[in-house]
Chain A
Amino acid sequence: MRKKLPKFSLHFFCLLVYIFLAAPIVVVLLSSLTTTDYIVFPPKGITFKWYAELVNHPEFMQSFTLSIIVAFGTSIIATIIGTMASIAVVRYEFKGKSVITQLVGSPLLIPSVVFGVALLQFYSWIGIAASPIALVIGHIILTIPFVMRLVVASLVGFDRSIEQAAMNLGAGSLRVFFQITLPIIKSGVIAGAIFAFITSFDDLTVALFIVSTDVVTLPVRIYTYMQYQYDPIITSISSIMILLTVVLMVVIERVLGVGKVFASKN
């Protein structure tokens, strides 16, 4: 007979995995509080001076603002396009539908470095200079698959007679969309928007290919800064990024539960 492992050993193993996953984040957060002017863990003393020091680095603040704007624009446009495309894919039969589905799924499969190179080539070929808009377009392509995964999941099993009922009561198709369809699939749409935001905000690989002196997003800024200096400025700005992402994840959790988001990605 096979001996059963005691239950606590499973729990212990899970705990180890969690610690392993969370450790880098905790290290970054804590070492941003160090009083030394080099990064060290555990931190020596506790201070918030490195956060205050960020004020003396306007380039970080500019990058932060740029990243937020790019992520915001990406999120809104990718969500609109992704939602409309999801509706088309789920509800209508049309020529080339499978091609579109494949195409839309491909950024999930292609390594983002490859995608970055491709985008760079493409932009130089059609003559688009590096600009926030160019970056937003790249990020939209990168994030539409995420949006579509989530929105398609919320559309599958959507009972269309609900929309027919609204039409029957006198609602035109625009009204039906905004008053009935959208509210019902809103959790998928919101989750998609937040995923798009986070993906764009955190993206380094694609952004690296589109940098110019005036288009430097926060991850790129941190990356380049680190090549010359290694002080707690890095960890403090990283901590801010982490916290922002955490806040957004909590919002998703509130809206529809993280478990559901990942289940529906399947």
Chain B
Amino acid sequence: MSYLCLENVVKTFNKTEVVKKMNLEIEKGELVSFLGPSGCGKTTTLNMIAGFLEVDGGKIVVDGKPVHLLPPNKREMGMVFQNYALFPHMTVFDNVAYGLKLRKVSKAEINQRVLEALEMVRLSGYEKRYPKELSGGQQQRVSLARALVIKPKVLLLDEPLSNLDAKLRQEMREEIVGIQKKVGITTIFVTHDQEEALAISDRVAVMYEGRIEQVDTPAAIYNHPQTDFVSRFIGEVNHIQAEVMESNDDQPCKVSFDGYQQVLSHHVPKGVLSEFYLRPEKIQINLENNQGLKVLVERKMFLGSKTRYIFLNNNQYLFADISNTVFNPDQIKEGQEVLAVWNPEDLLPVKK
């Protein structure tokens, strides 16, 4: 059994199920992100794990023991809040020491552990400050130290970086992962920033309307989305259609995108239109031969290391992101017709 298990967890607000029979297993020391659009139930799930909300069904098990009936102060979870939630009337030292004092740890040990925790988040020397005398990033680090110093069983972070500016956000997320790995603590990280989730997680749980759509490694989530929602939500996709030419059980399946024929490794019922998602960075431009989908170059946008091309085929837009070192954008002009090509393995079948 995994270290942290959610078994058929349900939460209902005013008769609407906000979290629907959720199942999730997290291994010890793992960092799992909850990623999903606003209102999909990330905070609600986290609050049920922390004990701020009661579950309306199902079980939460930590280290083999069910905890979903315990009050929050008996669960030994460390929580870091979006708005830091530091105690405004206590110094940084007292904030971090609070949990230890409640645990009746000796004064000398409190002193030592608080100083260690503050050193870990690079805030040594700030012990006597009050929260309002700190920047947002510093406050968030105090909050992290305060949660970690009690050596909780699970670390819960609810959008901990969303109040910070872009640059600091990136620094802080690396710092958090560094500390997480060093301490080896089982962690759930809530975010609606997919780049953040993909960058830091061992596994990402993509949530949608109170359900987990897919739990997988960041690469698997990106390259092998299992549901329609995950395909559309993670990264950008083009939505394209093909005509199925041939599809027999013992033969490869042939499809045609407006004349551009490709052989797929999986089978699709013959004669129907088949829909696919295709990521913009998987598309290349073919100037060598006559293979490919005929498209009109509607616009070129220079984006530094790459160029975004907006192609038009039969009134359908197709976005392509091509690295400028691979293809020199000056080779083609807006208004010109070119051939767009891709590998059939990069086609993500649309799941209905």
Structural contact, A169 and B81, CB atoms closer than 8 A:
no
Residues of B within 8 A of A (CB): 50-52, 71-79, 81-83, 85-89, 98-99, 102-103, 143, 146-147, 150
Residue on A with the closest CB to B100?
Answer: A169
Of the listed stretches A62-70, A73-81, A157-165, A219-227, chain B binds: A157-165
Closest CB of chain B to A160's CB: distance in Å?
Answer: 9
Of the listed stretches A7-15, A26-34, A140-148, A170-178, chain B binds: A170-178
Closest CB of chain B to A11's CB: distance in Å?
Answer: 36
Structural contact, B102 and A168, CB atoms closer than 8 A:
no
Which residues of chain A come closer than 8 Å to B72, judged between CB atoms? 164, 167-168
Structural contact, A161 and B85, CB atoms closer than 8 A:
yes
Which residues of chain A come closer than 8 Å to B78, judged between CB atoms? 168
Which residues of chain A come closer than 8 Å to B52, judged between CB atoms? 164, 167
Which residues of chain B come closer than 8 Å to A159, judged between CB atoms? 83, 85
Among A167, A172, A183, A184, chain B packs the most CB atoms within 10 A around the CB of A167
Question: Which residue in A168, A172, A183, A184 is a CB contact (below 8 Å) of B79?
Answer: A168
Structural contact, A168 and B83, CB atoms closer than 8 A:
no
Which residues of chain B come closer than 8 Å to A183, judged between CB atoms? 89
| Complex A-B, nearest 10 residue pairs according to Cβ-Cβ distance, in ascending order | A169-B99, A161-B85, A165-B85, A170-B102, A167-B72, A168-B79, A183-B89, A161-B81, A162-B85, A167-B73
A172-B87 CB under 8 A given contacts A164-B52, A165-B81: no
Question: Which residue in B87, B89, B99 is a CB contact (below 8 Å) of A170?
Answer: B99
A84 to B73 Cα, complex, angstroms: 23
Residue on B with the closest CB to A180?
Answer: B87
Question: Which residue in B76, B86, B102 is a CB contact (below 8 Å) of A171?
Answer: B102
Question: Which residue in B73, B83, B88 is a CB contact (below 8 Å) of A172?
Answer: B73
Which residues of chain A come closer than 8 Å to B103, judged between CB atoms? 170
A-B contact count (CB 8 A): 63
> 16 additional contacts, CB 8 Å, given A165-B85, A167-B72, A169-B102?
A159-B85, A161-B81, A161-B85, A162-B87, A164-B85, A165-B79, A165-B86, A167-B52, A168-B72, A168-B75, A169-B73, A169-B146, A170-B74, A170-B102, A171-B102, A184-B89
Closest CB of chain B to A10's CB: distance in Å?
Answer: 36
**Chain A contact residue count (CB 8 A cutoff):** 16
A5 to B99 Cα, complex, angstroms: 62
Interface membership of A241, Cβ < 8 A: no
Which residues of chain A come closer than 8 Å to B74, judged between CB atoms? 170
Which residues of chain B come closer than 8 Å to A180, judged between CB atoms? 87
Interface membership of A166, Cβ < 8 A: yes
Which residues of chain A come closer than 8 Å to B73, judged between CB atoms? 167-172
Structural contact, A164 and B79, CB atoms closer than 8 A:
yes
Structural contact, A161 and B83, CB atoms closer than 8 A:
yes
A164 to B103 Cα, complex, angstroms: 17
Residue on B with the closest CB to A167?
Answer: B72
Structural contact, A167 and B85, CB atoms closer than 8 A:
no
Structural contact, A164 and B102, CB atoms closer than 8 A:
no
A182 to B98 Cα, complex, angstroms: 16
A-B contact pairs, 18 of them (CB 8 A): A161-B81, A162-B85, A164-B79, A164-B85, A165-B143, A166-B98, A167-B71, A167-B73, A168-B50, A168-B73, A168-B77, A169-B73, A169-B99, A169-B147, A169-B150, A171-B98, A172-B73, A184-B89
Residue on B with the closest CB to A165?
Answer: B85
Among A159, A169, A170, A180, chain B packs the most CB atoms within 10 A around the CB of A169
Closest CB of chain B to A90's CB: distance in Å?
Answer: 18
Which residues of chain B come closer than 8 Å to A169, judged between CB atoms? 73, 98-99, 102, 146-147, 150
Structural contact, A175 and B102, CB atoms closer than 8 A:
yes
Which residues of chain A come closer than 8 Å to B88, judged between CB atoms? 162, 184
Closest CB of chain A to B144's CB: distance in Å?
Answer: 12
Which residues of chain A come closer than 8 Å to B79, judged between CB atoms? 164-165, 168
Closest CB of chain A to B106's CB: distance in Å?
Answer: 16
Which residues of chain B come closer than 8 Å to A164, judged between CB atoms? 50, 52, 72, 79, 81, 85
A173 to B206 Cα, complex, angstroms: 34
Which residues of chain A come closer than 8 Å to B98, judged between CB atoms? 166, 169, 171
Closest CB of chain A to B310's CB: distance in Å?
Answer: 44
Residue on B with the closest CB to A175?
Answer: B102
Closest CB of chain A to B296's CB: distance in Å?
Answer: 53
Closest CB of chain A to B271's CB: distance in Å?
Answer: 57
Which residues of chain A come closer than 8 Å to B85, judged between CB atoms? 159, 161-162, 164-165
Which residues of chain A come closer than 8 Å to B147, judged between CB atoms? 168-169
